[in-house]
Amino acid sequence: MKDAGTIATLETEDIRKDHKLSIIRLNIDDDKSKPLNILSDNPTFHIDLPSDIVQSEIVFNDALTPNIKFKLLVEKYILNNSQFALNLSNQNRFHLIQIYNTIKHSCNLQQIDYRVFNSCSAELYTLMHDNFARFKQSDVYMKYCKSVIH
């Protein structure tokens, strides 16, 4: 048995080519400085969004550098006291805040890797997919469907 400082991580194992069905397995990891890698076997994580979706003023602002975009996104969505804090694992949040603090207090001009949020995006996608599937099986949703059909 591992000690109380151990971090549990999730990984998915793709068992179908269309990636709609995955097996989630629990692994134990003591390294809190690594990001949670939900799609470890699938490095290309892609979500197709509607073309008319509202675009982020931060992400699509060409006047901002990648480092400034990263800092603004972390301040808005990742920091614990942020206005729109996302439901992330402590491991992912800790990893992004570590990078944020390094960039914030550094004169290092090295640009942030655009893939820095991949693990975070995958985790949120998995969470939304799981919760929505369970919601569709709830009594409230089934009653709503019956009321619309009849």
Q: Cα separations (Å) of 133 from 11, 129, 130?
A: 19, 6, 5
In the three-class reduction of DSSP (H, G, I as helix; E, B as strand; rest coil), residue 19 is classed as coil
Cα 114 to its chain centre, rounded Å, is: 14
Sequence-ordered list of residues with C-beta below 8 angstroms from that of 5, at least 6 positions apart, any chain: 30
Greater pLDDT, 58 or 19: 58
pLDDT tens profile 41-55: 455 556 677 788 888
- In this structure, of 29-43, 54-68, 117-131, the range with the lowest mean pLDDT score is 29-43
Confidence category of residue 94, pLDDT binned at 50, 70, 90: very high
DSSP-assigned letters across all residues of 20-84: --EEEEEEEE--TTSPP-TTTT---------TTSPPPTTTT-TTS-HHHHHHHHIIIIISTT-TT
Domain ranges within the chain, ordered by starting residue: 7-41+57-149
Q: Which two tokens stand for residue 17?
A: 């080519």
98-126 burial string, b = 16+ CB within 10 Å, else e?
A: ebbeebeeeeeeeebeeebbbbbbbbbeb
Greater pLDDT, 30 or 135: 135
Q: What would the mean pLDDT of 97-103 be, rounded to a whole number?
A: 91
Residue 26 has pLDDT above 50, yes or no: no
What percent of the chain stands above pLDDT 90? 27
7-41+57-149 under CATH 1.10.1660, yes or no: no
